[in-house]
Structures are given as C-alpha cells and as structure tokens.
Structure 1
Amino acid sequence: MPAVAHLRYARIAPRKVQIVLDLIRNKPVDVAVAILKHTPKSASEYLIKLLQSAIANAENNHAMDVSRLYVSECFVCPGPMLKRIRPRAHGRAFPILKRTSHVTIALEEAAEPKNA
C-alpha cells in the first residue's frame, strides 16, 4: 500500500509542474529531494513540501523504512481556472486564465535500497 500526499488548488499551471515531476519519477526519495532542491523551477518549492509530507505519511502512518522509499507514482491534474479579464484596445476585453493544479505523489518501499 503506497503512502500518498496530495496538494490541491496550487496556483501554478499543470504543465509547469509536469516538467519537474518527470525528473523525480521512480527515484529514491533522498535523490528526489536533492533534485528538487537544485532545480531552478517555481514548481520545485511546492513539490519539496509535498514530497516531505509524503515521507512523513509513510513513516508515521504506514511504518515504512525511509531509506527504502522511492517515488512510485506522481502526477498532476488541472484544477479550476481563475478567470480574469485584461483590457485591450478599442474597449475590448481579453480573457486571462489563471490555472491551478492538483498534484499527487505516492511512495512505496523498494525490496532493497535503490540507488540512482
């Protein structure tokens, strides 16, 4: 049974989060944390906190060994869009869609400690 952590209604576009999630998929948690800390993307801040929450859930709720955890599943789904209006020439209005994301990270224990 995987240890799961969710982040709902994050004010960042899903396509920006997906780029960073692809970097940490199927990696051990210590390697994933190091990747996120050294990735200069705005989604990294959200994902570091979410990954640490998933690690805490695995340790406290599922009694998993932290040294054997790896990111088994991670995905992002689009959340609701905040609709705003930008004034344009000749009195027109153009829509601005401020996108939100729902991010999920699942951790599982490896049979043996994984190396990158």
Structure 2
Amino acid sequence: MQAKAILRHTPTSPRKMRLVAGLVRGKQVDLAKAILLNSTKSASRNVMMTLKSAVSNYALINPDERVSDQELFIKAVYVDQGATLKRTLPAPMGRAFRIRKRSNHLTIIVDKVKNPVTK
C-alpha cells in the first residue's frame, strides 16, 4: 500500500523544485536520499524532508510490516504551483516593476518494490 506526503506553500519557484524532483523520480528511497544529500540545490532539503515524511507515513499505514529504505521506491513526485505573492520594485521615471514571488506544493508518493533486488 502506498503512502503520500505533501509539502505546501514552499517559498521556492516550481521550476527550481522540479529540477530536484526529477533527480529522484522512480528511484529507491536509499538511493534518493544519497542523491539529495550530495545535491547542492537548496530545494533538496525540502525534498529530503518530504521524502522522510512519506517513508514515516508508510510505516504508520503498515504497522505490522517492517520495511527498510531499500524495499521502498518513489512511485511519483510532482510539483504544483502554489500562491504567487506580487511585489513592486521602484523603477525609473515613476514606474514600478512587478516582482512575482512564487511558491509550490510538493507531493511524494512511496510504495513497496514488487521484486526487491538483494545485494
């Protein structure tokens, strides 16, 4: 049975978050954690936090089943656009430029691997 974790209203643009989400999409959880720990992107901290929450949610949904990170994989990761804060920046000749501070919603779904690979 799959588990889901959602991080809402993250003050990062969806475009930047999608770069990091694409790195871990479809990977096993232990490999995804290693990728995120070595990533230099600031959005990787938010993805790591949400991934840990999804794994924890999986453990809560299936209390009788002990699953390691090697047996779980990321079934789906998607980033949706959140609210946009509109700010103004003074410009020459009495004008104002608009600044759009974007946010996003991150969703991670984890599930158990059907045929785990043993090493």
Shorter-chain TM-score tier:
over 0.9
Match of 1:21, SS state, is: helix
Q: Which amino acid aligns with 1:34?
A: A
Map 1:43-54; keep pairs closer than 5 Å.
43-54=43-54
Q: What is the TM-score with the length of structure 1 in the denominator?
A: 0.94
The answer on whether the counterparts of 1:84 and 1:96 sit within 8 Å (CA) in structure 2 is yes
The answer on whether the counterparts of 1:79 and 1:100 sit within 8 Å (CA) in structure 2 is yes
- Residues 6-64 of structure 1 show CA distances to partners (whole Å, capped at 9, x for unaligned) of 00000000000101111101100000000001010011010111000001001122345
For residue 37 of structure 1, what is the aligned residue in structure 2? 37
The answer on whether the counterparts of 1:3 and 1:62 sit within 8 Å (CA) in structure 2 is no
Match of 1:20, SS state, is: helix
Stretches of 4+ aligned residues off by more than 4 angstroms: none
Give the Cα–Cα distance (whole angstroms) in 1 for the partners of residues 27 and 13 of structure 2. 23
Q: Which amino acid aligns with 1:109?
A: K
Q: What is the TM-score with the length of structure 2 in the denominator?
A: 0.91
Q: Which amino acid aligns with 2:8?
A: R
Indicate yes or no: 2:8 matched with 1:5: no
Q: Which amino acid aligns with 2:109?
A: A
Between the two proteins, the alignment pairs up a number of residues equal to 115
Give the Cα–Cα distance (whole angstroms) in 2 for the partners of residues 109 and 48 of structure 1. 18
Give the Cα–Cα distance (whole angstroms) in 1 for the partners of residues 4 and 80 of structure 2. 15
Give percent identity, aligned residues only: 38
For residue 93 of structure 2, what is the aligned residue in structure 1? 90
Give ranges in structure 1 of 5+ residues lacking alignment: none
